[in-house]
Amino acid sequence: MFGDLFEEDFSFISNNHCGKGKKSKPRDSEPPAPRDFTNLSGIKNQGGTCYLNSLLQTLLFTPEFRGNALFSLGPEELGTLDDSSRKPDTKVRIIPLQLQRLFAQLLLLDQQAASTTDLTESFGWNSNEEMRQHDVQELNRILFSALETSLVGTSGHDLINRLYHGIVVNQIVCKECKNISERQEDFLDLTVAVKGIAGLEEALWNMYVEEEYFEDENLYRCGACDKLVEASKSAKLRKLPPFLTISLLRFNFDFEKCERYKETSCYTFPIQINLKPFCEQTERDDSEYMYELFSVIVHKGGCYGGHYHVYIRDVDELGNWQLQEEEDRLIEDKALRDTENAKEVENPLAVLKGILSEEESKQIPVDQLGQKLLEKKGVSWNKKYRKQYGALRKYLQNHPQIFQFSPDENKVGLKEKHKLLFKADSQGQDLQSPPQKNDVQWNSEKNPTRLRDSSSGCHWFDLNDSKVQPIKEKDIEKQFQGKESAYMLFYRKSQLKRPPEARGNPRYQIPEHLLNEMNAANTELQKKRAECDSANHGIDLHLHLSSCYKFHNGALHPSLTWKESVVDLTIDRRKTLGDLRLSVFQMLESWEGDMILSIAKPLPAGLHLYQILDGDELTLDGIGLADGADVFVWNGKEVGGTKVMTGPDHEPVVVNVLRLAEYNEGGKGQHFTESQHVFSCSTKLGDLHRALAPSGGIILKNGSGPDKEAKNWQVFLEEDMKETVKSVGLTDGCSVLILDSHDQSFVNVSSGNLTAFTYDISWLQVKNFCRTEDEEKHVKITATIETVMSDIKMKAIRELQLEEELANDSCLRPVSGNGKLLSPVPEDYTVKEAELKMGSLLGLCHGKAPTSTQLFLYFIVGSDQNSSPEMEIVVEETASVKEVSLAAFKSFCHAWVRSAAPGELCLISVRHFRSSGDTEAKEGFLKIPIWWFKSSSHMKHGQNAQDQVNGMTCKMDALQVHVDSSVVSFFLPPFPPSKDSPEYIHTDMDLCYAGSIEIAAEASLEDLKMQAMTLPCCQEQIVPLPSFLRAWTVDSKRPGKLLRNNKQQLNDYKLGARVEICIEPLQKEEYLGPHELLLRVQMGIPGERNYCDSTDLVWDISKECTTWALRHRVASHYCLPVDKIEIAKYFPEKFEWLPISSWTQQISKRKRKKKQESLQSAPYHLKDGDIIGVKNLLLDDTKDFSTVRDDIGKEKQRQLALEKKKSRQTGRLQDHVFSEEKLNIKPRKPEVALSINVGVFR
């Protein structure tokens, strides 16, 4: 009826009632938490079932419904749950059976909250229904109807009628003949008005005492008089049920505003009420009409969202009711004063309060509290108190009124008033602890002792889903009004008395088979909690045996394999160091002499030892042994006859030593030799100098790690030689450069810095294209990446013995692999800015090079791209399209020109467009546009980052100029291309339109490639076989899905009618399997925000697709250590890089078994064609993967977003006010009626 009227507000739900362990384990493996001090169980919220939980708790605390009615029905009447699964044809009354089982769990099972999943499944509800909020008044009627239907033909067929059924009689009395006309109405609950009424008594008075009169024009037709007469109308309660349910009409509809609202005005209701004035028969004793309130369902929130919880009076006194104030008073009153009795167990509450009250800081770590207890009392918590009171953390959590945890629950302190009370107690008397929840013996017939207040039977609890807490009776008055107010009231007859054996006995009237089931479940729960406790406190230690190690090169190294030298040991962190030592002795039966245990740590140089573990009475947690710690077992003096230095002052450091290599004419890449040396961090720098440069020389340190930029290399001065390796900042992986005397020209002595990149000292080739001589000559010019191109040109002119006047009319142009001259390099560029690789070939040509503000463009004249020659032109970056075309026209007057108007120029295009006469593909055929894919790694050096991001498509009237890879095409299209047509230029990708093909849908991928090879654009490429081509679908102007298996039919790919295909040429044949992932990896250039050309990487993911596996595959591809790289995935649509987390920590065998997250899932969604950036940490320790291209792209996206925002704001201002208001209305889900599915049992 109300659908989603009351959507769940999860802010009222407490999700975490458990302490945080140091090990994170799957939530499903954790056993449910035991009950808290109230000894009552809550109910888990399935997402939107708080209304169901509140009603179920009310029924549970209705003893006559629970015991006398529901539990009295046995398996012979209801059947069993096993029959429902084993005998599908058997009529099993599942709803009452599941309700019985749930009530037994709530009463007997030692868990903080029970689940209603089985019950809601018996209702026929799915997950959507469990997440949808409904009205609890509606549920009350529907659930009672379902129970009545389910119990047809059993002794409980009249259960609902017997407990909740009442009768209202409506009477009309004729004032003339006194004839009484009456009509009876049955009710299970009474609905009373709230608006404009002060309270429940007033509402009942208006309904059942005051009369309505028919008079004047509003007369009543009397059946006896057979005429219109004056009459009076009234209603009375004819029959009162044992349990009276009252629904308050809190939610109304405002017809003026056309919206629902919640009535939050004050509405009182009594704890006890006398219904005699409202009844038809009043001759009986007043006690027959007295009712007591025992449940109040509260709704918190508004009419469109909120949360239900319930206040309940514990009629059978099943819970431990104790408020904080009363508990504090009782604890103080029952203090233990007889401390002389040695047999009396000392109360841990007083001991812990004494320790915490002496602390200056407000809170201390929980682990440290246990250590202080050991120091003060000489005995640990585990040995003295754990058996009786449970774990220390759990004991502290069970006393929230005394101890206060920090938000992360790692620290604990004493609440302020308890600290003051404890200090004021001059006698230091111990306080008695209240009984704990862990002391409840569920299988014992003797009930546990409970602390109660003076008014027996008046205990109230607030049951809020999983959370249960005691409240006072006067707290009910807070629910008279406001957004959090009473919604349903449940009264019981005062005459209903409970037998003495039911008081405090949750097992009362529960059937034997349910008792046995709950006993078995509690036993299993205790077993799981013990196992979980052991697992949560278990730590894995790696024991390194000295007999399997030898000491050399400053560190310990295994003489055997690592696996044979290490013994894994699992032990409880709460055990002492003495227990650990004993366990090691038992494992190593042949050990002789003293046994010393030292903390060890694997370093790049090897295993190093730190402090010795001492104090056998201390716990492993107290001495700081963590999970996965390495412990070295030895005699404390030597290993293999060699004395071992321990501690952080003697840590071995691995230093990378670089020396300039001999001149290698054809060498590329690194131009230095690299070796690794190990030194103690306490080694003097002078000793290091003598070891590395015995014949003299200079030592330089890289100040920023492996970047090795010139500005970061610093010379060690003479005064530094007395410093230690540690004090000068040399750590693992740091590099030092040794320069002999003939290499010292690269050092600026005054500043102590290196003047060039050590790995960039190399050469370039220059070839003479000026043709002043018959033969073209080559020369090699030494250069670094900071060398200016004008200097290289002058050196080349001198080396070629040309006239120096040629410098004014010549330029350097890179030569491609096929011998083509590329665009000239501006003379003010450095080698780095020109993006030239060392060893590249440059051509010395006639003509001036463009400046940094000019563009060098190619253009083609004519309709035949193959026969038309490429021509060149230099223009300013700011030149318009008209200026470019006019300059081309004046420079090359032999081009085909047609002047349509002054200032308008149209050159014939090399681009071929589909004619307007093209038709759709025939039935059974696919018409597929084909694009030719060019890898971005082949871009020419002259293309800057802005061009790569944007491309450029310009228009001037009918003239269109497309700039792509420094080539200009002028064309006049037959009709304007649209974005939907294949002719639309993908300006942000290297896609060239080749044409379209028509192919049968049953053809194979190989046939498609063969047909694509016949297109004119593809014929220019040398492609011997279809296996030398890679086919992609085009998705959002980019290569999308990779099409595998040349023999597979196109139908199997489910391409769709509007698919476009791009073809990528390969250098070799490729046959990708179904479990092989194709990635494009590119190595970052050290010191630059740029990358080398991307290469294809094929990765087999058949075994695993994890971070660890990808890092190993990339490291293997680049022949680098796996811990010396960082990788990230590129998202081109966002211009963002997402680092793929490192996998460097050591993990235990138990953790290794856990399946790691696949990279094909969130957040990486790794797929074919993804770009993976790689950082070589040996050369570049920067974590930023972004490039200048990304900065420009993000800025452009930001500008587009601002423009869209401005346009939206402008549109809103133009809209009508009413339309603007409609946009602000919160959309609500459609209302869905609540229902419970019940079988037929008649």
Backbone angles phi, psi at 622, to 5 degrees: -70, -30
| Cross-strand pairs, 602 | 607
List Cβ neighbours of 116 (8 Å cut-off, separation of 6 or more). Answer: 43, 44, 46, 49, 52, 53, 56, 102
**Inter-CA distances, 804 with 519, 799, 807, 982, Å:** 104, 11, 6, 53
Q: What is residue 762's three-state secondary structure?
A: strand
**CA–CA gap between residue 974 and residue 447 (Å, rounded):** 96
**Inter-CA distances, 337 with 427, 432, 433, 554, 1058, Å:** 9, 10, 13, 63, 90
List Cβ neighbours of 977 (8 Å cut-off, separation of 6 or more). Answer: 913, 983, 984, 985
SS3 for 813-874 is EEECCCCCECCCCCCCCECCCCCCCCCCEEEEEECCCCCCCEEEEEEECCCCCCCCCEEEEE
H/E run at residue 405? strand 403-405
**CA–CA gap between residue 1082 and residue 1114 (Å, rounded):** 10
Annotation says 307 is catalytic: yes
| Cross-strand pairs, 995 | 930
With beta carbons less than 8 A apart as the criterion, state whether 644 and 551 touch: yes
Token look-up 């002054």 returns 902
Annotation says 992 is catalytic: no
**CA–CA gap between residue 990 and residue 1110 (Å, rounded):** 27
Strands (E), 848-948: 854-860, 870-876, 898-901, 904-906, 925-933
SS3 for 107-133 is HHCCCCEECCHHHHHHCCCCHHHHHCC
Q: What is residue 36's three-state secondary structure?
A: coil
**Inter-CA distances, 1209 with 346, 648, 1225, Å:** 73, 63, 18
**CA–CA gap between residue 594 and residue 1039 (Å, rounded):** 68
DSSP 3-state helix, strand, coil percentages of the chain (rounded to 5)? Answer: 30, 30, 45
Which of 134, 299, 307, 537 is flagged as catalytic?
307
Q: What is residue 547's three-state secondary structure?
A: helix
DSSP designation for 771: -
Strands (E), 200-315: 212-214, 220-222, 227-229, 231-239, 243-249, 251-254, 259-262, 272-274, 290-302, 305-313
**CA–CA gap between residue 192 and residue 253 (Å, rounded):** 16
**CA–CA gap between residue 1077 and residue 1093 (Å, rounded):** 19
Amino acid at residue number 1184: D
List Cβ neighbours of 11 (8 Å cut-off, separation of 6 or more). Answer: 307
With beta carbons less than 8 A apart as the criterion, state whether 30 and 532 touch: yes
**CA–CA gap between residue 106 and residue 112 (Å, rounded):** 9
Which of 50, 548, 906, 992 is flagged as catalytic?
50
H/E run at residue 673? strand 672-680
Length in residues, the chain: 1242
How buried is residue 1113: exposed, middle or buried, by Cβ count under 10 Å (0-12/13-18/19+)?
Answer: buried
**CA–CA gap between residue 588 and residue 203 (Å, rounded):** 84
Residues assigned a catalytic role: 50, 307
